[in-house]
Structure 1
C-alpha cells in the first residue's frame, strides 16, 4: 500500500508535507462531521442535536473571524493579486484611458513596485477581460484602493451570504437551521473559499449567479443569469451547452439578447476605440506561457503542459493535440449523457458544470468553489450512490481533502473524479430507466419517485421553486 501511495503522489506531482496533510485531513473531517449528523438528525437525541448544531455554528463563527481578519489586513495593505488588477482597470477607465493598451499601466510599475510575474502577466499585457466585464470594474476607479477594496469585500460578502441561503433552499430545503449551518460549513471547509477571499476574487458572485440560473434553468429568464455570469467570468459561457442540448431555445435567446444589451452598454461606457481594441489587440494572446502551466492552474490543458517536456512549443495553448482530443472526448460523452437524461436533469447540469472547470484553460484552484453544486447534487441523491450515505460522505470528504492539499494536480484529480462519478450515476440512471420501463409503457411520462424523500422529483422541484419565489 505504501508503494502504491508513493506512485500516486508522484503521478500527481505532489510534494506532501505535514502541513498540507493536516490541512487536507482537517477539511475532510469537518465535512464528514457536518454531513453525518445532518443525515441522522431526526434520529439523534435532543442533546446530541443541540451539541452538533453548536459545534457546526462555532466552526462557522471561527471561520468568519479569521476571514474578517484577512479582509481587514488586505484593505489596509492590498496584496499584489488579484484585486489590485481589478482596481487598475477601474483607474484606467476612470480617466477614459484604453484599458487594453499596456502603455496605460506603466505608472503602476513605480506605484506598486511589482515583481516580475505581475509585470509580465498584467502590466505588460493590459486587461484580458472582455468589454462588458469592465462594467463591473469601472466603479472601483473612482476611489482609492483601500476604499475600493472595502466596498468590494462588502459586495462579495453579500454574494456569499446569498449563495449560502440559495444552497440551503435548493439542495437542503426543509431542513431549517440544519441546512443553513451545513451549507455555510461546506463553503468554509472548501479551500477555494479561503483563496477567493485572500485574492479578492469574484467567485462568490459567480456562484450566486449560477445558483440563480440553477433555480430558473427551465424558464426563459435563466438566460439573464447566464449573461450576468458571463460578464463576471467568461467561462460561464460553457454552461450554454446545457440549454442547447436540451433545446431550450428561449433560454439561449434570452442569454444572447441580454449579452448584446450588456455589450451595447459597455460600448457606450468605454467608447468605440476601447471597445473594439479587445478584438483587434487580442490581449490574452500576449500572456506569458507560464500562465497556462503554473501550479495554481488546474485545468486539463495546464495538467497536460506540466506533464509534457515540450510545453506550448510553436502552437497556441488551445491548439495542443492531446488537449483537443481529450477535450473533445469529455465534451462528447457529457453531451450524450445530457441529451439522454430525461429524468434527474440535475445530473446533466452538474456534468456540464464540472466539464466547464475541466476544459476552461484558465481554471484556477479557487474556481473549485463552483464544484460544491455538483457535490450537493450527489448528496441530494445519496441513496443512488454505492454505499449510500457512507459512500457519499467518503467521496465528498475525499474530494475536499484532495482540493485542500493544493499540491501538484490534486485539484484537477478531484474535479475529474466528480465528473466520472456523475457520469457513472447518469449512465446507471439511463440504463435503469430502460430496464424497468417496458416499451410502450406510460411510465415513461411518469415523474420519478425519489427513494429517500418519498416524493416525486417533479413535486420536489416545484416546491423548491415555489419556496424561492416566496
Structure 2
C-alpha cells in the first residue's frame, strides 16, 4: 500500500504539461495574436474607413470619456451625468445610431478628474495617448511579475491575451486598473505605503477595490490599509475641489438608474455580462434567484481571500485569489474588465515555475486565457456570460495548490520529526 506522501507527490509534475511547453506556447499564442490583429483591423476598416452604421471604430467607449471631458471643460462638470447631453457628442464618435441602449456616464468624479484633459486634444489623438500610456503601464507590471523567470517565452502570450485587444477596441480604463492593482500587490510587502496609494487610486473604478480592505485586514497590512484610506479621501477631495462637490451627488443619483437599466436588460445584454449574476440571468434565472446565486459565490470568494491572507499563503496564491475574487464579487462587469484575469494567470505561471504543477492546472489556465474571446462572438450569443465559471474554477485551482503545498509541508515536518526521533534513539 502506497503511503500518503507518495500519493501526494504523484499529483505533482516536475514541469509544465507537455502540451504547453515553450515552443507550443509560442505557436498557440501567435495564432491567437493573428486572430486578434485581424479582428482589430476589421473594426478599423468598417468603423473608420467605411463608416458602416453601427460598426464602432476603436475607442468606442473612450468616446464617452472624451465627451465627458468636453462637457466638464465647457460647463458645470455635473452635466456629464445628463445622458442626452453626452450622447449628442459620443454617438457620432462611436458611429452608433440612437437606440434603447443608452450611453451614460456612470463613473465617479475621481475618474472624471483623470480623463478631464482628454478633450484638450482631438478625439483620435487623445485616444491614442491614453491607450499607449495604459499599455505601457500594464506591460511594466507584467514584466515585474515575470521578472524572476525567463521572460522570453512569455512576451507573446502577454501580447496575444484576447482581453487586451478587447480593451484596445473599447478604449477602456482597464489597462490603468490592471496596472494599479498589479503594481500595488507587487509593492505590498516591501513598500506598503506606496501599495496603499496605488490601491487608493482604484477609486476611479470602486467596484474593483471592494475586496482590497478584506485582504489587507486579514493579512494584517495596516500601513497599506491606512495609506489606501488616506489616498481615497484625498483623491475624492481633490476631485470635489476641481470639479465641484455636486458631481458626487450626480454620481449617486446616476447609479440607481443605471443599475435598473442593467437589471432590465441583463437577460439579453449584447455580448453578455461577465458576472455570476449576468450568467444566471442569461440562462433564464429569475431576478431574486440570480441575486441569491451571485451572493453565494461572492461570499465564498470573499471567504477564500480572508482565509488565504490570514493563513499567510504564498504571495502568488494570495495575489491571484484576491484578483479572482475581485472579478466574482461585482454584479456588473464587462468583457474589457476581464483583462484582470491576466494577473492571476501570470502569478500562477510564476508559482508553477517555482513549485511545480498539479495535473489540470494548465487546462484551466489556458481556458481562462482564451475566455475573453467570447466578446467576438455574435451579440445574440451573449457568450461573455460563460466566463464566470472559468474565473471560479481558476480560484479553485489556487485553493487546491495551497492545500497541496500545506499537505506537503506537513509530511515533510512529520518525516523530519521521525528522522530526529530515530537519531535520538540511536
Which band: TM-score by shorter chain? 0.7 to 0.9
Q: CA deviation at 1:185?
A: 1.6
Of residues 73, 78, 101 in structure 1, which corresponds to 2:82?
Answer: 101
Name 1:154's counterpart in structure 2: 129
Deviation at 1:241, TM superposition (A): 2.3
Q: Distance in 1 between matches of 2:18 and 2:46?
A: 31
Say yes or no: does 1:241 pair with 2:219.
Answer: no
Partner Cα distance (2:173, 2:64) in 1: 12
1:385 corresponds to 2:365: no
CA distance in 1, matches of 2:348, 2:401: 9
Out of 219-228 and 397-406, give the one that drifted further.
397-406
1:191, 1:366 within 8 Å by CA — same for their partners in 2?
Answer: no
> Equivalent residue for 2:283?
307
1:287 aligned partner: 261
Q: Secondary structure at the match of 2:102?
A: helix
Q: What's 1:224 paired with?
A: 197
Contact 1:354 1:371 in 2 (8 A): yes
2:108 corresponds to: 130
Matched with 2:9 is none
Match of 1:84 in 2: 63
Aligned counterpart, 1:326: 297
Indicate conservation of the 8 Å contact 1:96/1:270, yes or no. no
TM-score by length of 2: 0.76
Candidates 381, 400, 413, aligned match of 1:437: 413
Distance 1:116 1:430, change over 3 A: farther
The Cα offsets for residues 237-263 of structure 1, whole Å up to 9 and x where unpaired, read as: 433322121011110111111111111
SS at match of 1:121: coil
Structure 1: unaligned runs, 5 residues or longer: 1-30, 41-51, 442-470
Question: Which of 318, 321, 331 matches 1:348?
Answer: 318
Normalised by the length of structure 1, the TM-score is: 0.69
**Partner of residue 458, structure 1:** none
> Which stretch of structure 1 is more off in the superposition, 377-386 or 211-220?
377-386
Shift of 1:397: 2.6
SS across alignment from 1:221: helix
**Structure-1 separation of matches of 2:292 and 2:365:** 33
Check 1:156–1:408 CA distance in 2 against 1; reply closer, same or farther (3 A cut).
closer
Q: Which piece of structure 1 moves more, 258-267 or 232-241?
A: 232-241
The equivalent residue for 2:333 is 363
Cα drift, residue 61 of structure 1: 9.2
Which deviations, in whole Å up to 9, do the C-alpha atoms of 1:128-160 show, x marking residues without a partner? 1111111122212334xxx23323223322332
Instruction: State the 1:107 CA deviation.
Output: 3.8
Gaps of 5+ in 2: 1-15, 376-382, 418-426
Whether 1:141 aligns to 2:119 is yes
Where do 1:46-57 residues align within 5 Å? none
Q: What is the CA distance between 1:90 and its match in structure 2?
A: 1.1
Secondary structure (helix, strand or coil) at the match of 1:287 reads: helix
Paired with 2:293 and 2:178, the residues of 1 have a C-alpha distance of 30
- Asked whether the equivalents of residues 266 and 275 of structure 1 are also in contact (C-alpha less than 8 Å), the reply is no
* Alpha-carbon separation, structure 1, partners of 2:250 and 2:374: 40
1:268 corresponds in structure 2 to 241
Aligned partners of 2:200 and 2:391: how far apart in 1? Answer: 25
**The residue matched to 2:402 in structure 1 has which SS?**
helix
In structure 1, what is the Cα distance between the partners aligned to 2:364 and 2:374?
15
Structure 1 residues 38 and 370, CA gap change in structure 2 (3 angstroms): farther
Whether 2:144 is the aligned partner of 1:169: answer yes
RMSD: 3.8
Inter-CA distance 279–290: structure 2 relative to 1 (3 Å threshold): closer
Please say which of residues 235-244 and 197-206 is displaced more in the overlay: 235-244
TM-superposed CA distance for 1:281, in Å, is 5.0
Tell whether 2:155 aligns with 1:184.
yes
Q: Distance in 2 between matches of 1:377 and 1:312?
A: 36
After superposition, the C-alpha distances for 1:370-398 in whole angstroms (9 at most, x for unaligned) are 112211222223244224xxx54444333
* Separation in structure 2 between the aligned mates of residue 337 and residue 133 of structure 1, nearest angstrom: 31
Cα distance in 2 between the residues matched to 1:62 and 1:165: 24
